Chain A
Amino acid sequence: MSQKPKIKELLDESACAHNKTRKVACNAPTPGATTGGCAFEGAQISLFPYADAAHLVHGPITCLGSSWETRATRTSWPGRDLTQVGFTTDIGINDVVFSGEQKLAAAIDYIMDKYAPQAVFVYATCVTALIGDDFDQICRQATEKHGVPMVPVHAPGFVGSKNLGSRLGGEAVLRRLIGTCEPDFTTPFDINLIGEYNVTGDMWQYLPLLEELGIRVLSTLSGDGRVADIRCAHRAKLNVLVCAKSLVSLTRKMEKQYGIPSISLSFYGKRDTSKGLLAIAEALGNAELIERTKRLIAREETNLEQRLIPYRKVFAGKKAVLNTGGNKSWSVASALQDLGIEVVATAVGKSTEADREKAREYLGEQGVLMLKPGQEQAGIIDQRGAHLLLAGGRSLYTAIKKGIAFADVNQEKKKSYGGYAGLLNLANDLKNALENPVFKLVARRAPWEK
């Protein structure tokens, strides 16, 4: 029987809140009117952070040539950081005509010989999927030959969106890695972090707190992750899904197969970080741990409040419009509120039902949930007298036209805003934005304009 995951099953995710309301696949793209990445990119996002594994992209040069070294996922792996090494078979016309299988097998041998990774993830792409290269067979043979796991990742771009690709990445790990090793020992407080990719070191903002509480991160998918650890993930007591809707399929299946319960949370902002830590402790169900966690939260919050004092004055009375997508529509809003900034509107056009509910909860009845932020945000800035626009680069013009400060929400890809400490980074960047004269200055009329 084919080892390929059934895409239909993955699209029909019973754990998704909106599953009952929408019949068709969420992401059937419209030709000529589609933005956003493909399934391959989704798989890359969810699996590339394993820095001890090689990530071999079997396809033409576009797939990897344009995308390697794009995500600042940090690792503490002492060996060569293979996340940031680009491997691709770069297939040519001969491979398209006569099959790329030989080249793929040779590429795996080359990688094993030169880089000796803990595993090789082998990614299918549109062209190599279309010509029917047998990934499963080649990976099976290579596993036997080299004695380390070779994981075929069946997420060629054309099967769907980034979100689906992340699910397919999770599926590959579930089928090929999880449950294939046993940990040296277990503790009652072993957890897996799922969907935390440690972009800019986000995870490290709260990891020391978990350690202090005696909570052990047994494995991650996949921030600062290790192949050897994820193979033992089935022995964890709890799956913690961090800000990632896409991997809910994985945690549901792990619950079914291994009886591991899961919780979903965010480490963005003060309240959510505190809530998250407490939720983990409560889910682990140890009264003493819960007490410890409460004490730690109180200490960290006091500490943070002290350090935020200089910013309070700057943010007092400030209003912001937030234009981003997915879970960030509420998680960033929450962080802004923690800083004392009023969030008057947030974009929910690309958010799930659950995200929209949360956004409403955080913004209250007065807040505007924008379905078409591109058209709505300018008007809302005027009506509500907003001082700050947080959005992607495309909205910069709106801020300049309105003469208000602008902050790029994608800065988080360069700098960590996660956990308690990350909130200080966010505070500093927003203070800088509010104080920067540039947004008014660039809109100055030229001397020759009336």
Chain B
Amino acid sequence: MGEVIHKTVKPLQVNPIKLSQPMGATLAFLGVDGCMPLMHGGQGCTSFTKVYYTRHFCEPIAIQTSAVTDAIAVLDGGDYSIVESVKNICKKVTPSLIGLHTTGLPETKGDDIRGVAAKVDYPLVWVNTPDYEGGLESGWGLACKALIEQLVKKSETTDAAKVVILPHVSMQPIEVEKLKELVSAFGFAVCALPDLSTSLDGHLGEKQSALSSGGIAIEEIRRLADARLVLSIGDSMLKSAVALQEKNSAMHHHHLPHLQGLEATDHLIAILLAESGFKQPGPGIIRWRKRLQDALLDCHFSLGQTKFLVAAEPDQLAGICQALYEAGGKVEAAVSTVDSPQLEKVRAERVLVGDLEDAEALAEHYDLIVGNCHCEALAHRLHKGLVVRGFPNWEQVGNGLKNDVLYEGGAYFLFECANAATAMREHCAGG
């Protein structure tokens, strides 16, 4: 592991990959069934967020705004905007929950949303997520923690067969589903919080819903504290795991920084074997491990001669870099959206918090980029290969079903990267 730069010295971001806290919170609330995320701020934050996720998932996105205007910003302490919003939302739909999260505007003027929330006579979870702090991961994490603190009932008993998964924000819907399936295969009943696997997985429903159309049910969230085991995935989820344990101190907690590659998956399987008492996993899992072993060997030649730039949220960054490292891929530069304890663990020559301008400055060091669709222009301009990962991906369809985790997803991910690297070299040689 190489040099880590935790803080940028520039007075601005140029071609940012960083995303905001409220956007992360929105997504977390979309992983709760029948929820209406309510973003407290100007109408634009909500509009941008809605369009952003609609384009990424190719799905309608449920969200509303408290539509704070300049006059209201001066006169109101949040009471009017929030109470009116809840009233107006409930005129049209009946959400199971309203997920109230703030932006920079009400936080700057100091709205007491906790106080307002207490006055609202409707199921509501509130969370402070100013966009001048943190980023996508922390917003998702804070919303998840708020769901736990405000909804989960304390428990003193545990159900030995029950597991709670706390996935980080960059895990796509199918990845959450694959993880749930894997854990179930060890005889556990599994809940994920938040759970995008049944809401934003891109399924054709009976009709178009104005609320989140799937996800973990409110009742399930209330009863999470009787699980014997909690698995947090990604360092951004550690605080949520702690919050859950406070609801039941008898709960076992295992933390996994990410789930990409052979080692990380082996580590998870070892935990599940120990916790379940199983001697070995089911035949499907064993088979996929062999396929991943084979994939590592099949891909090592291409990846072993490839130098990478990886740009992502910290938890995903750690996962991608580990997966590439295992097959000999050389990550020369890993650019993170925000600072995180993960960065010290990232397997890369240089790790920095930065933007795509910083990535461009390091252009001579890499040939293939793994990053979001904003990297397309970069790849084009610098004649680099590109594998699109992370938020947003507006250029491709099927994002919710892209699986990079565990043995199975790990194999697919390596193949995609190895093929892209080979294609890039042929392309460069040819012209």
Contacts and interface: CB of A to CB of B under 8 A. Distances in A.
Contacts of A40: 44
Interface stretch (B64-72, B152-160, B322-330, B405-413): B64-72
A61 B16 contact: yes
B11 A103 contact: yes
A3 to B, nearest CB: 17
Contacts of B131: 60-62
A93 B21 CA distance: 13
Contacts of A30: 67, 84, 88
Contacts of A48: none
A199 interface: no
A59 B135 CA distance: 14
A272 interface: no
Given A126-B104, A157-B42, A61 B20 contact: yes
Interface string B40-58: 0111111111111010001
Contacts of B15: 68, 85-86
B204 A442 contact: yes
A125 B274 CA distance: 53
Interface in A85-119: 85-93, 95-96, 103, 106-107, 110-111
A157 B49 CA distance: 14
A69 B374 contact: yes
Interface string B98-131: 0000011100110000000000000000000011
Interface in A63-79: 63-70
A173 interface: no
Given A31-B85, A32-B86, A126-B73, A393 B48 contact: no
Contacts of A158: 42-43, 68-70, 72-73, 105
Contacts of B279: none
Interface string B20-49: 101100000000000000100111111111
B11 A106 contact: yes
Given A29-B69, A41-B48, A158-B68, A60 B12 contact: no
Contacts of B219: none
B16 A65 contact: yes
Interface string A128-158: 0111000000000000000000000000111
Contacts of B49: 62, 66
Contacts of B66: 31-32
Contact of A84 (B19, B22, B45, B377): B377
A160 interface: yes
Given A84-B377, A126-B104, A157-B45, A90 B13 contact: yes
A126 B43 contact: no
B88 A38 contact: no
B60 A394 contact: yes
Contacts of B82: 31
Contacts of A90: 12-13, 16, 18
A287 to B, nearest CB: 48
B89 A33 contact: yes
A59 B15 CA distance: 15
Contacts of A442: 204
A400 B205 CA distance: 11
Contacts of A28: 69
A36 interface: yes
A89 B11 contact: yes
Nearest to B16: A65
Interface residues of A, number: 61
Nearest to B68: A158
A37 interface: yes
Interface in A11-60: 28-41, 56, 59-60
Contact of B65 (A34, A41, A92, A130): A34
A157 B43 contact: yes
A84 B377 CA distance: 9
B350 to A, nearest CB: 21
Most buried by A among B10, B92, B377: B10
B411 to A, nearest CB: 30
A308 interface: no
B81 interface: yes
Nearest to B73: A158
B44 A61 contact: no
A41 B46 CA distance: 12
Contacts of B47: 35-38, 41
Contacts of B252: none
Nearest to B67: A29
Nearest to B55: A70
Given A37-B43, A67-B48, A127-B105, A156 B132 contact: no
Nearest to B204: A442
A66 B64 contact: no
B11 A39 contact: no
In this complex, which of A34, A39, A62 has the most chain B Cβ atoms within 10 angstroms of its Cβ? Answer: A62
B84 A87 contact: no
A296 interface: no
B80 interface: yes
B19 A159 contact: no
A32 B64 CA distance: 5
A38 B105 CA distance: 13
A86 B11 contact: no
Given A85-B15, A397-B208, A126 B133 contact: no
B12 A85 contact: no
A86 B16 contact: yes
Contacts of B204: 400, 442
Given A31-B85, A61-B19, A394-B208, A126 B41 contact: yes
A89 B10 CA distance: 9
A186 to B, nearest CB: 37
B54 A61 contact: no
A130 B73 contact: yes
A69 B16 contact: no
A159 B204 CA distance: 38
Given A96-B108, A394-B208, A62 B103 contact: yes
Given A66-B48, A84-B377, A32 B85 contact: yes
A429 B189 CA distance: 48
B14 A37 contact: no
B11 A110 contact: yes
Given A34-B67, A96-B104, 11 more contacts: A31-B67, A33-B91, A34-B43, A60-B130, A61-B13, A61-B131, A65-B13, A68-B374, A93-B132, A130-B109, A394-B60
7 contacts: A31-B84, A61-B13, A62-B103, A65-B18, A88-B13, A103-B12, A106-B12
Q: What are the 6 A-B residue pairs with the smallest beta carbon separation, nearest first?
A: A38-B44, A32-B85, A32-B88, A106-B11, A157-B44, A29-B67
